[in-house]
Amino acid sequence: MKNKAFLLILVVIILGSINECLASHKNCSELRGRKNFFTGYEAANPDGTVNAVIEISSGDNEKCEVKEADGIMKCDRENGKPRIVKYLGYPTNYGMVPKTILPKEKGGDGDPLDILVIGRQLKRGQVIKVKVIGTLKMKDRGERDDKLIAVLPGTHFDGIKNINELNQKFPGVSSIIEVWFMNYKGSGKIQTEGFGSVEDAGSLLNNAREDYNMIKR
């Protein structure tokens, strides 16, 4: 009798573990937010911060992104399996800014504006207020793919105001970011053109917001 009870408990534990794995796999393949990730949040806040939707946690290799058509976050698939970036894990949290777009007709990639968030590791699907300190200027196979650089409030990067301060107080961080993005897709596919100022970041963000508004009218 004790053996039967033990076996029953063991089966329940195993089935629970399987269900948890399946649920985790499903959440990894498709993540629905409390609101539409693309249209449900403003790009910027009255306090000067920017909203970042985290698509990839720092250190992760699995490629996921928000789809503009439905605002759902989906992980890329290759041959039925998750698409894994075959390089070191992402050096920062990676995401997008809602209600923005870099239109192809203006040389962009047609996707929302990307943002890199320096600080502690964040979870995929988090929508968080961040402080923008500059840009990383990039071209991905000929298309402009510039990215906002931001720091996470409440971390030891919080006091950083621009890229120069980042380089002074945390030497090597910007170099790591630039080298990573220059190489993660393979040799010669991405060209980086250094970093832009806070003012450059503001112009990039404003243009991406205006282009979103034009498309959505």
pLDDT digits (tens, 9 = 90+) for 122-134: 999 999 999 999 9
**Count of structural domains within the chain:** 1
Residue 146 above 90 pLDDT? yes
Q: How many other C-beta atoms lie within 10 A of the C-beta of residue 213? A: 12
pLDDT band at 201 (very low <50, low <70, confident <90, very high): very high
pLDDT, tens digit, 9 for 90 and up, residues 6-35: 444 433 333 343 333 333 334 457 899 899
Q: Name which residue leads in pLDDT, 3 or 71.
A: 71
CATH number of the structural domain spanning residue 164: 3.90.80.10
Of the candidates 57, 60, 132, the one whose C-alpha atom is nearest the C-alpha of residue 100 is 132
22 occurs within a structural domain = no
* Side chain identity at residue 6, one-letter code: F
Parent domain of 120 = 32-216
Give the pair of three-digit tokens for residue 196.
């832009």
Cβ atoms of residues 155 and 205 within 8 Å: no
Q: From CA 2, how far away is CA 7, in angstroms rounded?
A: 9
Using only C-alpha atoms, the chain has a radius of gyration, in whole angstroms, of 20
Q: What DSSP state is assigned to residue 49? A: -
Burial (0-12, 13-18, 19+ Cβ within 10 Å), 105: exposed
Least confident residue range of 49-63, 66-80, 86-100, 125-139: 66-80
149 occurs within a structural domain = yes
112 occurs within a structural domain = yes
Question: Chain-wide mean pLDDT for the chain?
Answer: 87
Residue 163 above 60 pLDDT? yes
Least confident residue range of 36-40, 101-105, 207-211: 101-105
